[in-house]
Each structure stands twice: as C-alpha cells, then as structure tokens.
C-alpha cells in the first residue's frame, strides 16, 4: 500500500496532507487557519476532497484550521475523546484503529503531557506525534500550559520507546528545518526522549529546570480553539516566537535572562558613530536575501547554530553586540544565549527588520 504524505506549511507549524494515489479523497493533520484557503485551492487543483481533518491536540500557538475545513468540505473533524473542542465530530480513544482513506492502517496512541487531549497517529511507516515529540534537539512541546503534565509526558515518551524504532517521526512543529527521522535516531539525539529513559524523576527535574516564561496569549489561543474559531484574528498571536518549543535548543537558564533592546533609530545613529556595534543576524539564510533584506555588515549566525558558534563571536566579546531577526523574537533568544555565555553588552534590535525597514 503506497500513500502520499506532504507537509503543507512554510513555517514552524506543520500540517500534513495524506492522500492515496488514484483516490480522490484526502486527510489533513493539524491544519492552520491562516492557510485554509491555500489547502482548499490545493485540493481543488488536485481533484481531492477532504474526508477528515485531524487535530493531534488542542493547539495553543495557532488557531486550528479544522473547523473551517469541516465547513468547506463537510468532512469529519477528528480529535481525542476528551478534547474540549465544541465542533469535533469523530472522537478517538487509545488503541482505536481504522483504515485512513479506506487504505492506510492507522492506530491511535494516547500521548498526553503537552495537553490532556494529545494523541499520536501510528501508520505503518511513520508516527505523527503532535507536540508530544519534536525532532532532534527540538525536544518536545512545553508542559506548562493548561492541561500540561510532565509526569504524563514521561509516560507518553515511555510508550514511544516501546514502538518499532524504524517509525519516522513527523511532529506538529519544527522551528529549525529539521528533517523527519526515525524513532531510533530520536532516542540518540532528542533531549526529552533521552532524559525520559533515565527516570521519571530525572525527566521531571529536567523540565523544571527549563523554567519557561509566561505565555498568557497562548491561553487565549486555546480558548479560541475550544470554541472552534473560524477567524484567524480570534486571538492575538505574536510572529516569530518559537512558542510551543521548550527551548530544547538553548542553554538551561537562558530563558530567565533579561536583555535590553535598542530602537532602530538609535541603532542607526550608532552605526554612523566611530565605534559602531557588531550586528549579528540570527535569521535563516533565505530570509537575508528575502524582501526584508539585511543590514550591511551583519554577521550571519542562524539561531539554531548560535550556541555551537559562540567561539566564532569571541573576537567581539567585549564589544557592543546587537542581535537582529525578523521581528525580535529569535534575536531575543540569541541575546539571552550570548548573555549566558558572558557577553556583557548584548541587546536586541527592537521590532527586528520589520521596524528597521520602516525608518
């Protein structure tokens, strides 16, 4: 049995289209409301009709596109049995199995921890893990939001460890363009999974040490998803925030570091002074040649590799360093990392390139 699986989004939230060659039906896992029209157009172009939309859990960092797609395609909306969603039509339980699109065996694995209604979909060759497990050093989704439970998350990871190691992991988020890879590899590289294999206590202690900052806006997003919002603006969502990530990629303690920001106008003045600051742009390479452009003379170190490349920045340790990204989110994380590493004069370009370009 062959089937087609395609990730549809251009950003950190991952939505997967599943279709069977020769069939006119399809399924989307974890659709995002901002792209509902794109999904609908894609289906139209390919002559596909959605029969099911599936949310692996109630999302806190984006509004689900499932309610809107359910309206458009009159399809089923699949959630876990205890999902607070008011418009789910097909509620699954642990161990439930069926043939997706009539062809692809799928089994439900209850995967709480990030939320109480999280589940994974096990297909013959892959597993859709939602936020229960991300890829590599991305770790997994945070457990500090309403319904989160580190102990349950540990139990979920124990279940993952019992599954066939050749299953390929497809998460609901990835902030650093990592490629899906096997559970076997995740056991070797994923800090959450590795720590969970030590002991429950060690895992919970590890999560406590991450000490995430508050994310009150995420509670509003949860509420919008409980209510099956069809409006992308039903809750305010910041751009550029790796919101669901537990910062598996940054140093423990860095989340607590507060860093200063510098307005674009002040930075511009300093750039023209006799001792201009060092600029470090932490965006991805393609963004630097994109519409927002880059500031002349920046040092480019993508946020994902900043921790590993701090030695490259050693010559500038005592200088004034300004971190730059699209809107300030990643640069803030970058400034926290450099501050933790002992750089004394690090700040963030307030509003990032979006604000810089408005000067």
Residues lying near Fe ion in the complex (CB under 5 A) are found at 59, 131, 141, 244
216: its two tokens: 């009150």
Give the C-alpha separation, 247 to 253, whole Å. 10
Q: Provide the annotated active-site residues.
A: 325
Instruction: Answer positive or negative: Cα dihedral of 38, 39, 40, 43.
Output: positive
Give the C-alpha separation, 274 to 211, whole Å. 40
Give the C-alpha separation, 10 to 76, whole Å. 25
Closest separation between CB of residue 144 and Fe ion, Å? 12
DSSP letter (8 states) at residue 312: G
Closest separation between CB of residue 267 and Fe ion, Å? 34
Strand order in the sheet with 25-29: 4-7, 16-19, 25-29, 49-54, 76-80, 90-92
**Closest CB to Fe ion: residue number:** 131
CB of 148 or CB of 352, closer to Fe ion: 148
Task: Tell the residue number behind the tokens 């959450």, with chain if given.
Answer: 192
CB of 243 or CB of 323, closer to Fe ion: 243
CB of 226 or CB of 316, closer to Fe ion: 226
CB of 141 or CB of 277, closer to Fe ion: 141
R_g over Cα of the chain: 21
Residue 253: φ, ψ to 5°: 100, -20
Strand-pairing partners, residue 134, are none
Closest separation between CB of residue 83 and Fe ion, Å? 13
Give the DSSP H or E segment for 120. Answer: strand 119-122
Instruction: Answer positive or negative: Cα dihedral of 33, 38, 42, 45.
Output: positive
182: its two tokens: 């096997």
CB of 223 or CB of 345, closer to Fe ion: 223
Closest separation between CB of residue 57 and Fe ion, Å? 6
Closest separation between CB of residue 246 and Fe ion, Å? 11
């Amino acid at each position: 049995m062959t089937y087609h699986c395609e990730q549809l989004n251009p950003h950190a939230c991952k939505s997967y289209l599943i279709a069977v060659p020769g069939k006119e039906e399809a399924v989307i896992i974890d659709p995002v409301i901002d792209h509902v029209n794109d999904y609908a157009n894609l289906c139209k172009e390919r002559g596909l009709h959605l029969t099911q939309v599936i949310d692996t859990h109630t999302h806190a960092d984006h509004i689900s596109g499932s309610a809107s797609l359910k309206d458009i395609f009159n399809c089923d909306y699949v959630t876990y049995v205890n999902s607070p969603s008011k418009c789910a039509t097909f509620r699954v339980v642990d161990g439930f199995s069926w043939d997706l699109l009539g062809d692809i065996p799928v089994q439900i694995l209850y995967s709480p921890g990030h939320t109480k209604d999280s589940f994974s979909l096990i297909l013959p060759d892959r597993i859709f893990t939602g936020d229960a497990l991300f890829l590599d050093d991305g770790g997994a989704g945070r457990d500090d939001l309403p319904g989160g439970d580190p102990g349950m998350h540990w139990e979920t990871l124990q279940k993952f460890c019992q599954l066939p190691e050749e299953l390929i992991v497809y998460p609901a988020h990835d902030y650093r363009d990592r490629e899906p890879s096997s559970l076997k590899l995740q056991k070797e590289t994923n800090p959450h999974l590795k720590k969970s294999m030590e002991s429950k206590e060690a895992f919970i202690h590890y999560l406590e040490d991450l000490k995430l900052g508050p994310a009150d806006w995420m509670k509003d997003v949860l509420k919008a998803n409980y209510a099956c919002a069809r409006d992308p603006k039903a809750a305010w969502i910041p751009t550029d925030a790796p919101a669901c990530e537990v910062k598996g990629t940054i140093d423990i303690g860095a989340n607590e570091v507060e860093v200063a920001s510098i307005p674009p106008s002040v930075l511009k003045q300093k750039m023209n002074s006799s001792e201009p600051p060092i600029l470090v742009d932490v965006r991805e390479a393609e963004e630097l040649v994109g519409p927002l452009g880059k500031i002349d003379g920046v040092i480019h170190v993508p946020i994902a590799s900043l921790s590993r490349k701090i030695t490259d920045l050693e010559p500038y340790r005592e200088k004034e360093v300004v971190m730059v990204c699209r809107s300030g989110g990643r640069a803030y994380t970058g400034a926290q990392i450099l501050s933790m590493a002992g750089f004394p004069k690090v700040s963030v370009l307030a509003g990032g390139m979006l604000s810089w370009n408005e000067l």
